[in-house]
Structure 1
Amino acid sequence: MPPRSDQSTSARELATLVGPVEALPGPRYAALARRVRELVTTGALPSGSRLPAERELAAELGASRVTVASAYRQLRAEGFAATRHGSGTVTELPTASSAWQAPSTDPGLLDLAHAAPEAVPQVLPAYEQALAALPAYATGHGYVPSGLPELRSAIADRFTARGLPTEPDQVVVTAGTGDATSIVFEALLQPGDRVLVEHPTYPGALGMVAAAGGRCVPAPVDAADADALVGSAALVARQSSPRMAFLMPDFSNPTGARLSAAGRRRLAATLWQHGVLTVVDEVTADLHLDDGPLPPYAAGLPDAATVTVGGLSKAVWGGLRIGWLRTDAALAAQLGATLGRRQLSVGVVDQLAAAVLVRDLDGILEQRREVLRGRREVLLAELARALPDWTVPRPAGGLSAWCRLPPGTSSAALTAAAAPHGLVLAEGRAFGTGHAFDDRLRLPFTLPPDRLRTAVQLLARVHADLPPAPAGGFPARPLTVV
């Protein structure tokens, strides 16, 4: 029984969600706090829900008021609840940590933390053409607010060809997909605004929402039933009134979930009807490895209903810091002005090279997808051989597999144990709010096959030597994840 749309959760409703406290392990107050924390991090109990009075909940649970009071106190200490004047105790999600650790450039490390393939062969010829064209631009000041006309035109043409008619003035060129997303949050979020996010989701988005003063409201996503997001997002929209949503309709990071054509139409219409502006991240939309392309999420919606962000980091190379956003022309101008205040423009040489690559992107993607298919097969085969007790769904696209670990195995423990051996992992908790997903591990298939095999062999040895997880869990290790 979900909380009512006024965001006030009755004692009976919460008791139903929690279940029998006496059946939960550990002290009753800690078990109750842990269960409420789980409900908040999974989205079953939306952030911002008013919790029932201590006495009422104690009566429904058959527990003492001291137990409930102690549980509420622990939730407040962990950042999952706050006392608000006139509202009592209200659920919250902890603010994301601002401590980030850059990906290492050490070639000796085996990096299974970052889903970032090497450059495609077309990068160097594209820069050669860019340098040949540079003299025509070098006589000017070099600033191109919102992007070079030829690059904006190439991006707009690509959107149009995919079924989303676009003019160049609807496009703003940014320094990568993450930069495009950050600009939207910076320009449009006010402190305290709620943002609907898939759960789990891309960690960078969680940090960008927090940096803009927003608060994430999770909606569960499952690759096995991707369209279930439609119902969970509709519930969050009704209960929490988010200002914005951040979605990855195609091969969501990290689950690999992909909304069907019908599912994305229903979800788009639902959020638009609730007045939610959706930021659609398409950075992996073209990396379909089994089935073909699907219609863009924004197709059929007013241009102002969405801001679609994308870039070349996954299709071409992460070192080419070129991304873009696409929306209504007036909103694009507003977001372009935000970019201009921050950094004036993106580098001209990079944009000239990107214009060459975008025009040839279909051919580049065919090659990239073929390479990724082979590496996906290597990773899945190695995991099945070396770690047969892991559950590894076969991703239909994207860059990584979202693995479920055996019971009692902690991804935080694996990450910590692997680091001294030169194996870099991204623990599952990095992809969630609060303490969720310690039983999951995202494994990219972006390394060359021989390095993938070596990495999985090392991972299997670390897993075999792993001691049991401590009762209190493992401290989080900040990590930049791409």
Structure 2
Amino acid sequence: MALPPSSRTAIGSTRLERALGDWQRPGHGPAYRALAGGLRTLVLDGQVPVEARLPAERELSTALGISRTTVTAAYELLRDEGFLASRRGAGSWTALPPGRTVHGAGLSPLPADLVDSVIDLGIAAPSAPEPFLTEAMAAALAGLPRYTDTHGDFPLGIHVLRHAVADRFTARGLPTDPEQIMITTGAAGGFALLLRHLLAPAERVAVESPSYANALQALRFAGSRVVPVALQQDGSDHTDAGGWDVEGWSRTLCDAAPRLGYLIPDFHNPTGMLMSEDERRALVATARRTGTTLIADETMAELALEPDLVMPPPLAAFDPGGGTVITLGSTGKTFWGGLRIGWIRASPDLVRRIRADRASLDVSSPVLEQLAVAHLLSPEVLPQVLAHQRGRIRVQRDALVAALRAELPEWTFRTPQGGLSLWVHTPDGVSGSVLATTAERFGVWVGSGPRFGVDGVLERFVRLPYAQPADILGEAVHRLAAATATLTAPHRAEPGRTEPGSIAWTGEIALL
């Protein structure tokens, strides 16, 4: 007999009624099948977590204004399909059918043997801002002699960069002292340090669903128990639609009592959503009340693409005591992925304690790269670099949006105000995992939705970064459309077959 879950939260009938929306539409069959279908979709799209406790039958029937018999029949159908488990006296909770694949891999760059024949839409990272990066490296070389007569190991980071990072936080509305900054080997290195110091095996960590695939992988390696909280999404371009479910976060932090919460409040990866000021204030207040430490991943925070967008203060700005929010940042998304420098912003006491643990991980970060980043963050250079990066990324975003609307109009997504990727909802009958496998044969490398989830859900999503030039993105969408056609109407386009106006396929891989 299935045991009731102990690490997840309950879904209230009012919240479930809102999430179901217009579930009882004409043509969807008997009411109980329509309700079961709506609940099944919420699970598969990640809007209701796996192992979430559902309302009692009588409670849900009252909320939906339908008979209890209808709810009972819907629950029974879901149990037969493997999407619901129940135990007398313990209620019912969502599940996935046995044997369903749960993706545990993070994201990695395109394999070296495919880089000349496949368009890489798997990694959301821009090319370097030139000539600014080369100039920064030249300035770093010029300043390097000041450090070469030392041992070269600076576990907290060189002082000039800690000052530069602190000054940037202050300019963004979060007064910061250099003693609150630790320089790390990328945000991933900083995250690993925090997990080693703050998290014991089997402790719970609340995360957004979807979330950054490599962060989820790091949490798995740390032995944590990940508790997802669904982001509210509607796939439209209305900037005030969707967002962070403050009520759901409050319930999760109270019921599951996670040790940590990992969030990406600024141009969330993969959805591109931006957390509002009210949501930030409410989430931090809830975390402070429940004793949960929040790790805010700000790796996308500098990539606002709309010139008139007013950015809310950093999440840590709503934590005046400094004991609830820890911030991660890096240069990988703002400048270049090959510049492996990141940072932690935390209380001076926590920074000192993490410093003592670092020697067994990576000792310190490269001095030359730290000097280059200090140059790029200087008040004279940073505005130019950000204008350069934001301008070309905006062009690339708009090109990808236009291509998708022209060639795959049935795909839905929200056009983000910043960041580096679209989170695309595929139509019925198109699995993100199957599409990703098929697209590789057509010469496109993409990340399927389940990689960004916890339980093997999010199958009807793919992440499409716009880090490539506009013409390459247009070609990628053309190939995705051809790949999709083989899934929805196999006679329309297949590898090895050329049709009027189509790409000429060479073997299994479409060549640029």
Pair 1:303 & 2:322 matched: yes
* Structure 1 unaligned residues grouped into runs of 5+: 26-30, 53-58, 470-482
2:218 to 194, 208, 220: 208
Distance apart, 1:245 and its partner CA: 0.5
Q: How many residues align?
A: 450
C-alpha separation between the residues in 1 aligned to 2:303 and 2:9?
42
- Asked if 1:425 corresponds to 2:446, the answer is yes
Is structure 2 residue 105 aligned with structure 1 residue 104? Answer: no
CA distance 1:421–1:171, shift in 2 (3 Å): same
Specify the alignment match of 1:261 in structure 2: 277
Secondary structure of 2:462 counterpart = strand
CA RMSD of aligned residues (A): 3.9
Pairing partner for 2:145 from 126, 130, 135: 135
C-alpha displacement of 1:136 = 2.2
Q: Which runs of 5+ in 2 are unaligned?
A: 25-29, 57-68, 234-239, 491-512
Match of residue 27 from structure 2 = none
Give the aligned residue type for 2:153.
Answer: Y
Q: Tell me which of 362, 371, 377 is aligned to 1:352.
A: 371
C-alpha spacing 1:82/1:207, structure 2 compared with 1 (3 Å): farther
Per-residue CA deviation, residues 421-442 of structure 1 (Å, 9 max, x unaligned), is 3210111111111122111111
Q: Find the aligned partners of 1:444 and 1:226 in 2 and give their Cα distance.
A: 20
Pairing 1:334-373 to 2, within 5 Å after superposition: 334-359=353-378, 360-373=381-394
SS in structure 1 at match of 2:384? helix
Q: Deviations over 1:25-57 (max 9, x none)?
A: 7xxxxx89x9689659847467586999xxxxx
| C-alpha distance after superposition, 1:281-331 (max 9, x if no partner) | 111111111213221111131212111001111110000000001010011
- Name the structure 1 match of 2:288: 272
Residues 334 and 66 of structure 1: is their aligned pair in 2 closer, same or farther, counting only changes over 3 Å?
same
Tell me how far 1:457 sits from its aligned partner: 1.1
CA separation of 1:258/1:101 partners in 2, compared to 1, >3 Å: closer, same or farther? closer
C-alpha distance 66-109 of structure 1, shift in aligned 2 (>3 A): closer
* Separation in 1, partners of 2:187, 2:285: 24
Give TM-score scaled by structure 1 length: 0.81
Moved more, 275-284 or 133-142: 133-142
C-alpha displacement of 1:177: 1.2
Aligned equivalent of 2:123: 114
Q: Is the 8 A contact 1:96 1:210 kept in 2?
A: no
Task: Say which structure is richer in helix.
Answer: 1
Contact 2:79 2:85 in 1 (8 A): no
Pairwise CA distance, 1:241:
0.8
CA distance in 1, matches of 2:136, 2:79: 63
Identity %: 33
Q: Give the Cα separation in 2 of the matches to 1:97 and 1:160.
A: 38
Q: How does 1:301-450 map to 2 (within 5 A)?
A: 301=319, 302-359=321-378, 360-450=381-471
CA contact (8 A) 1:7 1:50 kept: no
Per-residue displacement from partner, 1:442-466 (whole Å, max 9, x unpaired)?
1111101111111111111111122
Q: In the alignment, is residue 167 of structure 1 matched against residue 177 of structure 2?
A: yes
**Aligned twin of 1:149:** 159
Call closer, same or farther: CA 1:296–1:345 in 2, change over 3 Å: same
| Superposition TM-score, scaled by structure 2 size | 0.77
| Partner-residue secondary structure (3-state), 2:326 | strand
Aligned partners of 1:396, 1:314: CA distance in 2, in Å?
15
Q: Give distance in 2, aligned partners of 1:146 and 1:238.
A: 35
Comparing 90-99 with 105-114, greater Cα deviation is found at 90-99
Are the aligned partners of 2:229 and 2:252 in contact in 1 as well (CA < 8 Å)?
Answer: yes
Match of 1:292? 310
Question: Aligned equivalents of 2:286 and 2:111: distance in 1?
Answer: 41
